[in-house]
Amino acid sequence: MPQKKYNLFNHVLVPKHILLTEEEAQSILKQYRIKPYQLPHIKASDPGARAIDAKTGNIIKIMRKSPTAGKAIAYRYVVD
């Protein structure tokens, strides 16, 4: 009997992960005047990255709820 696939993002402690398109990624890099490798890294094997099918070289936008800012946005560069 096949296992049911659990949706990782239904858990209250897991922030929303969004895979950026190439255009969105270039826009973010230009806005902050950085190269992709200068972003904090996330492994391609990370459960959140695997759930959105991120590949090495992609950029992920992570949106967390914040008690002070309301919403905190972070970007991660996917590495092996």
Residue 30 forms part of a structural domain: yes
Residue with tokens 């969105």: 24
How far apart CA 33 and CA 25 sit, in angstroms, is 12
Residue 32 forms part of a structural domain: yes
Tokens of 14: 């897991």
CATH of the domain at 75: 3.90.940.20
Contact (Cβ atoms closer than 8 angstroms) between residue 77 and residue 39: yes
**pTM for the whole structure:** 0.85
How far apart CA 21 and CA 67 sit, in angstroms, is 29
4-61 tens-digit pLDDT = 777 888 888 899 999 999 999 999 999 999 999 999 999 999 999 999 999 999 999 9
- State the total domains in the chain: 1
